[in-house]
A and B are shown apart, each in its own frame.
Chain A
């Protein structure tokens, strides 16, 4: 398995995440998609780290940061989802359209 393979795998993961973001109606489905995309980015970082860059520690640190940020993002997103659910009795994206038109 070479660099290109990893990059393609990451791309496929990213595309699946994007697809999930675009099609899921449940808000948590969107969150799942976002997590997948973040992980795809992480794979890219580590792959480049492994194959191209001479100093592998930096890539690992970046991935660690990504994981930390993802955790923060998930926390906020989940609380927003809960809050929205309480306000609308629904966690459906299509129901959150008060600003339309």
Chain B
């Protein structure tokens, strides 16, 4: 098969699954699930085949979609290394999570719908990844947003889930507006939206500097919204309202990864745009530390992981912003594995114990799930950046990139963030696996209600991802070759502080949470104000509510005046005028037949007079 056919198969097989599940097989949920998993298998196979055959195939397949005023808009597939890598990751993770969902979603009334939406999500994400055209990419980017909206709000009968879905949709939309404007500016500056063409140095050089910066910033807006960076990050933790596998999908390879992937895709543009990388670095470091501090005090396991995702995405942007495509993409890859793993482990605990609360999990004997717990430890170690697991290598390469960019302030910030990461990660591990009798943490208010045992179909993906999380770190050189960027090999001198910091974080976490008879109270509780600040997520939700609410009421009051005065006035005027005219003309209808005839004759006479040319 040609790579074009393969790409078509890869991207659209999930759509077939989606259609089958949502339309044809609504009443046969098991068949729907099987169909979707088969479709994902086909996608994964096709993605691998594209990769295998990439040496002797043209990298781009394009056909004209539409042409507007001489500007051709094409539709097609771009099959370069970055896209191939991302496609494989997306297909693999999505497949794992679908298999996992077989057990996790068992008995749910929306079983078929769930798998159908998964198919929709996979279709949108894969199509986005392989898009050859920015407009096409934007279409699928929005479809990814739609699919995540549907999945976050999967249990839409829960008001909180519906609200969370809405929030995710609106928040990402804020960024997308900026991105769309950037896209239009890009089109007007270069007359093309072809990604491969756009990324050529000559094309980029043809755009004026100021405009290039503006475009880069606007595109970055989209990245900020999608990848949940400060200040648009608040939707991601709320998105935990969806089923846990959905969170795993959103956080690892798809939704939030789309933002970082877009940045990676347009890396040359961001590098060429002056001053943008500093803004990116600032936003990334703020996000990394902010999210990590919030994660320190959360009790809900999924929320800890959500904030950790935000923080790790910020790390990727740090690497990309420091100018290293390799570091960012590498971390994106490894993160996809270990974050999916961690979420699936969390899902397994939630499934078995029936609570999201880490303390409850620990007290209910989470450690008894041996395979899951092993996965959790390995995933956590990878997240914390302990050698020789996946996260270690990618985080090191990010730090090396920051070193290379001589951005010292950001290096220290990254050290702080990685210390916090190690700390909150192992706080989570210890809370879940080593419950303490002396714990001062109060029990949860709700009684846990378990869903059922962890099935084999849930264990298999966890096992696969555990291997991935452990081994993906060694793929650095391979990835560098694939995406055509220079691999970074930090020296031991550079690595030592990072390892030390990560270990320090783990040790602090052990003393506070993991020891026998530990009080399980973080050091941050000694500073009550900070604790509350982190607990309340920096009050950002409240501030947004106030600002947005105030803005809305302001606009509303202005609109009300305009509406009552101008619009209503105009409407009333039109109505009254019509009525008045009607009254006036009705009076002419006097009911005097002879008056009518007389005026008609008179008119005819006058007409004849003029037409007759007297």
- Are A and B in contact, CB atoms below 8 Å, in the complex? yes
* Residues on B with beta carbons closer than 8 Å to the beta carbon of A21: 594, 597
Cα of A100 to Cα of B591 in the assembled complex, Å: 4
* Residues on B with beta carbons closer than 8 Å to the beta carbon of A98: 591
Q: Are A97 and B594 in contact (CB under 8 A)?
A: no
Contact string, A10-43, partner B, CB cutoff 8 A, digits 1/0? 0000000010011100000000000000000000
* Residues on B with beta carbons closer than 8 Å to the beta carbon of A7: none
Q: Is A2 an interface residue (CB 8 A)?
A: no
Q: Is A63 an interface residue (CB 8 A)?
A: no
* Among listed B224-232, B384-392, B425-433, B582-590, interface-contacting one: B582-590
With contact pairs A18-B601, A22-B598 given, residues A100 and B593 touching in the complex (Cβ less than 8 Å): no
Q: Are A101 and B601 in contact (CB under 8 A)?
A: no
B179 to chain A, nearest CB (A): 62
Q: Is A93 an interface residue (CB 8 A)?
A: yes
Q: Are A99 and B598 in contact (CB under 8 A)?
A: no
Q: Are A22 and B594 in contact (CB under 8 A)?
A: yes
Q: Is A71 an interface residue (CB 8 A)?
A: no
Cα of A96 to Cα of B594 in the assembled complex, Å: 11
Q: Is B368 an interface residue (CB 8 A)?
A: no
Contact string, B574-604, partner A, CB cutoff 8 A, digits 1/0? 0000000000001101111110011001000
B286 to chain A, nearest CB (A): 75
The 8 Å CB contact of A96, one of B587, B593, B597, B601, is B593
The 8 Å CB contact of A101, one of B589, B594, B597, is B589
Q: Are A101 and B593 in contact (CB under 8 A)?
A: no
Number of A-B contacts (CB under 8 A): 30
Q: Which range contains the number of A residues in contact with the other chain?
A: 10 to 19
B579 to chain A, nearest CB (A): 13
Q: Are B591 and A22 in contact (CB under 8 A)?
A: no
Q: Are B592 and A97 in contact (CB under 8 A)?
A: yes
Q: Are A100 and B590 in contact (CB under 8 A)?
A: yes
Cα of A93 to Cα of B597 in the assembled complex, Å: 12
B586 to chain A, nearest CB (A): 4
* Residues on A with beta carbons closer than 8 Å to the beta carbon of B586: 101
Q: Are A23 and B594 in contact (CB under 8 A)?
A: yes
A69-101 interface (Cβ within 8 A of B): 93-94, 96-101
Chain B residue, CB-CB nearest to A24: B594
Residues of A with Cβ closer than 8 Å to B? 18, 21-23, 93-94, 96-101
Residues of B with Cβ closer than 8 Å to A? 586-587, 589-594, 597-598, 601
What are 15 of the A-B contact pairs (CB < 8 Å)? A18-B601, A22-B598, A22-B601, A23-B594, A93-B594, A96-B591, A97-B591, A98-B591, A100-B589, A100-B591, A100-B592, A101-B586, A101-B587, A101-B589, A101-B590
Having A21-B597, A98-B591, one finds 7 other A-B pairs with CB under 8 Å, namely A22-B594, A94-B591, A96-B591, A100-B590, A101-B586, A101-B590, A101-B591
